[in-house]
Structure 1
Amino acid sequence: MSERLKLSVGCHAKIPGVGTSYGYVPSLGAGIAFLVLFGLTMVVHTVQLCWKRTWWCAVFSIGALVEILGWAGRTWSAECPYNNTAFLMQISTLIMAPTFFTAGIYILLGRFIQILGPESSSIKPSLYLWIFCTCDIVSLVVQAIGGGMASGQAGKVGGNTKPGTDVMVAGIIFQLVSITVFVACAADFVRRTLRRRLLQSLNGSVVPLLGAMIFSVLCIYIRSIYRTIELLQGWSGYLITHEKYFIVLDGVMMVLAVAVFNVIHPGWFLPDHKRSGAAKRSDYGSEEAELSSVRGHE
């Protein structure tokens, strides 16, 4: 058994001249900081969804929990940089976590369409969740398979990580394409909404929540682009072997993507579907009354 394989079990401090699967020793400070940040947003999201009874927002809490598991793995690796279990723990969970955030965004856009009416979108609200969540799951499975293949080879002397890395790249590119299609659908929704002045029929403003949704998608999009370039460079590439890029373009982006909904929570800014529908029926009824009155005078 090689020295590298012996070190992959248990906890061993960094040995000069013996590389880690990361290409560096993960920062303990960064690991603790992100554990705290994702822990806070998870707790706040859980309180908010219980308080406002927006149960579908549980996907944000679950996503934050998965991020916590990933950063716990990186914190573990800061003390035990050769431990293979810690490495696999962080790579699998941090790939998976954004899927929960995008699921929440798909549901949110579907709620907007339900409230504003079918004329606000060319796709049925339920289809957003089915189509794009299916794409995310497919992407997730492909990335997980590729990650397992690559990490297994990374622990071997002279192991070939390229096949696994190529599979991971295929998965993340597929995810990037699906998010791009979703962004195009969301842009069409905004165009239809503004063009037909649908927001004026609502009590209060949903503009902050629309802005939060766009901001969150942008953060996830940046992260996907970074991950794609990172993996295209390979496991010994510049981006993957320099932690500062991972911290900013993955960790920070994901914190912002989920925490923005703590500040602008759907439970506060999303109009009640029943009240909106009643208001529309009331408006429709008043219009019918006016037409009947005109016809009577004629």
Structure 2
Amino acid sequence: MDRQELFIGCHAKIEGIETSYGYVPTLGAGIAYCVLFGVSMILHTAQFCWTRTWWASVFSIGCLVEVIGWAGRTWSAECPYNSTSFLMQISTLIIAPTFFTAGIYVILGRFIQILGPESSILRPNLYLWIFCTCDVISLVVQAIGGGLASGQAGKIGGNTAPGTHTMVAGIVFQLFSITIFVICAADFVRRCIRLRLLQNLTGSAIPLFAATILSVVCIYIRSIYRTIELSQGWSGYLITHESYFIALDGAMMIVAVAVFNVLHPGWLLPQNRNSSNKRGASSVDEVELNNSFEQQHGHGV
């Protein structure tokens, strides 16, 4: 059979002909993650509408992108050679976490507004401007690399190395930017503990504070995994063993976003500081933060 026909149609695994994955994706895992992210998306949509925290729609959008990606892997479980399903999952599952981190930038910025400028090395709105810009740059580079690699993968004797190296450069830059963010977030936590700023938070905000830390840790673990995975190439050990992808990408991302279903910022995020004179300033800062968020993402999402 012509290899090009395998890429277009739907054919079961043929002995001796490798798939683009290096394996046949597990149908059960694809369905399970489609359901999990789908439920989280529905809950997040209801929650941000109910609480009118419109910026939290980024969690719903991220879940939708995850559902599309895992739907592609579910499709690949039945049609493992189909190039459309492969490109569908690899492009969306790289992009999806960016929406989750955008929400985390807003939450962290709000905490900084509440606890005061002494709690952070950066101003609240700078988290959106700096790190979302870095995310966009890394995604553009990865998209260019993915397009180059996929174009060569469909050719007999095609050279996927330039595209792969471009993708790796994009994800290394993404890992670098999220590492800087993690350092800033860790410094924020250190300052809060050292200066005893958490005493300024209401009881409901403490669980959200912990949920944000958990989400950041999960996203960072996933970023480290994807960087190592892609740096090994398309035939590397990690990329050709699905169990790592299920545990270090899928599981990490569902925890990172579902934790905010349980502890939703629309319910738990404090709206002001203790004193009434700081309440007005806090509201102004929140408007500035939301405006910067809309300018950064209003047209892109």
TM value normalised by structure 2: 0.89
Percent pairwise identity:
75
| Aligned-residue offset at 1:277 | 5.0
Structure 2 residue matching 1:157: 3-state secondary structure: coil
| 1:185-237 deviation line (CA, Å, top 9, x unaligned) | 11121222222222223332422112111111111111111111111111111
Q: Give 1:54-65 correspondences, 5 Å limit.
A: 54-65=53-64
Q: 1:115, 1:277 within 8 Å by CA — same for their partners in 2?
A: no
CA distance in 1, matches of 2:223, 2:279: 43
Q: Does 1:201 align with 2:200?
A: yes
Q: 2:276 maps to what in 1? A: 278
CA distance in 1, matches of 2:275, 2:154: 58
CA distance in 2, matches of 1:280, 1:202: 14
| Aligned-residue offset at 1:173 | 0.9
CA distance in 1, matches of 2:279, 2:52: 25
Q: Which amino acid aligns with 2:169?
A: A
Q: Give 1:67-78 correspondences, 5 Å limit.
A: 67-78=66-77
Q: Give ranges in structure 1 of 5+ residues lacking alignment.
A: 283-298
Structure 1 residue matching 2:96: 3-state secondary structure: helix
Q: Which amino acid aligns with 1:271?
A: P
Q: 1:196 to 1:24 in 2, by over 3 A?
A: same
Q: 1:125 maps to what in 2? A: 124
Q: 1:202 to 1:250 in 2, by over 3 A?
A: closer
The higher radius of gyration belongs to: 1
CA distance in 2, matches of 1:114, 1:281: 10
CA distance in 2, matches of 1:201, 1:237: 49
Q: Give 1:226-245 correspondences, 5 Å limit.
A: 226-245=225-244
Q: Give ranges in structure 2 of 5+ residues lacking alignment.
A: 281-301
Q: 1:255 maps to what in 2? A: 254
Q: 1:35, 1:68 within 8 Å by CA — same for their partners in 2?
A: yes
Q: 1:41 maps to what in 2? A: 40
Q: 1:39, 1:64 within 8 Å by CA — same for their partners in 2?
A: yes
Q: 1:27 maps to what in 2? A: 26
Q: Which amino acid aligns with 2:243?
A: K
Q: 1:73, 1:90 within 8 Å by CA — same for their partners in 2?
A: yes
Q: 1:95, 1:144 within 8 Å by CA — same for their partners in 2?
A: no
Q: 1:41 to 1:281 in 2, by over 3 A?
A: closer
CA distance in 1, matches of 2:232, 2:274: 50
Q: 1:86 maps to what in 2? A: 85
| 1:72-107 deviation line (CA, Å, top 9, x unaligned) | 111111111111111111111011001001111111
Q: Give 1:90-109 correspondences, 5 Å limit.
A: 90-109=89-108
Structure 2 residue matching 1:140: 3-state secondary structure: helix
Q: 2:220 maps to what in 1? A: 221
Q: 1:148 maps to what in 2? A: 147
Structure 2 residue matching 1:240: 3-state secondary structure: coil
CA distance in 2, matches of 1:276, 1:64: 35
Q: 1:50 to 1:277 in 2, by over 3 A?
A: farther
CA distance in 2, matches of 1:201, 1:91: 43
- Pairs aligned (count): 280
Q: Which amino acid aligns with 1:196?
A: L
TM value normalised by structure 1: 0.90
| Aligned-residue offset at 1:7 | 1.3
| 1:38-87 deviation line (CA, Å, top 9, x unaligned) | 00110111111111221111100000000000011111111111111111
Q: 1:161 maps to what in 2? A: 160
| Aligned-residue offset at 1:24 | 1.1
